Amino acid sequence: MTIDAKSRQVRTAPRPDPPAGARHLVIVILDSLRFDSWAAARMPTLGRLGAVERRWSYASWTAPSHYNLLMGLLPHASPAHVHASEHYKQDFARYSERLGVPGMEFARLLPDLYLPLFLRNVLGYYTAAMVSMPVLNPATPLNCGFDRYELMPVHNDMAEMVARLDFPPDRPSLQLLNVGETHYPYALPGDDPAEWPRISGVHGALRRLDEAAGPALFTESELSQLRARQIRAASYVDQVIGQLLDVVPRRTWVIVTADHGELFGEAGYFGHGPIVHEKVFEVPFVEGPVR
């Protein structure tokens, strides 16, 4: 069978019955949360899942990073003295423990190499995503293999995502949550948008213009306030993660991580995207069974 034929067959096949005992998988992506903002915020709820590790994102901004995550490749530990192919193999084998499904290996995802398609069409999962960032909206190619894929009405309300979660009783679920409170402008749901910090091009509002020079960069004091805002947002979402852990069904495996980090003035950078700096790749990672 050619790859094309196999791909068509996988996409059009009726959904199989899931393997007995397969776990739900919930992946929470705290957008832009760099590792040391997690450390400063402490985020005690994450300790219910396990020890939080410092890991590295494969990409410096949202879209490619989510594509990589949806291939099943989670932030890495930057292992030395190992071939990339061997690392993928070992990392992917961990899905057997996560899902409670023996024999998981990267090659089983061929030819699509996309976790939602594999879980839905091969293992019989229900697949759902709720995203906060418009760059991940449902019209993008990331929305492939999902039964439900929703851009939230506001970019910063994880509690509303928890309220909208649905776990059909007859099969395990994949649930992806892209959480926006930790993304610039690091605003909590009740915050007055008039009080948000503004930069040009992000919300269509110019913070201030220095005539021909374009919008001014943030001052050092503004940058430290922005960092404090991300830490505050991390503390808040930690509480909402507590609500999530309380409502997920039995036999759920939860992963919490970030799609990339953020710069707050280091080496002259702010934000993420077209930046090569350690802090834009450094992310927290924690996972474990809930019950």
Give residues in contact with Zn ion (CB under 5 A).
31, 62, 259
Q: Which is nearer to Zn ion, 101 or 151 (CB)?
A: 151
Q: Which is nearer to Zn ion, 157 or 259 (CB)?
A: 259
Q: Take residue 195 and report the two structure tokens written for it.
A: 């009080």
Per-state percent for the chain, helix, strand, coil, to nearest 5: 35, 15, 45
Q: Which is nearer to Zn ion, 24 or 66 (CB)?
A: 66
Q: Take residue 204 and report the two structure tokens written for it.
A: 């269509």
Q: Take residue 253 and report the two structure tokens written for it.
A: 């495996």
- Give the residue closest to Zn ion by C-beta: 62
Q: How far is the CB of 22 from Zn ion (least distance, A)?
A: 29
> In angstroms, rounded to a whole number, what is the distance separating the alpha carbons of residues 60 and 123?
31
Q: Which is nearer to Zn ion, 101 or 263 (CB)?
A: 263
248: left (phi over 0), alpha (psi -120 to 50) or beta: beta
Q: How far is the CB of 132 from Zn ion (least distance, A)?
A: 9
Q: How far is the CB of 2 from Zn ion (least distance, A)?
A: 36
> In angstroms, rounded to a whole number, what is the distance separating the alpha carbons of residues 63 and 163?
25
The answer to whether the Cα torsion of 108, 136, 163, 289 is positive or negative is: positive
Q: Take residue 234 and report the two structure tokens written for it.
A: 């991390």
Q: Which is nearer to Zn ion, 62 or 143 (CB)?
A: 62
Q: How far is the CB of 61 from Zn ion (least distance, A)?
A: 6
Q: How far is the CB of 217 from Zn ion (least distance, A)?
A: 21
Which DSSP letter does residue 35 get?
H
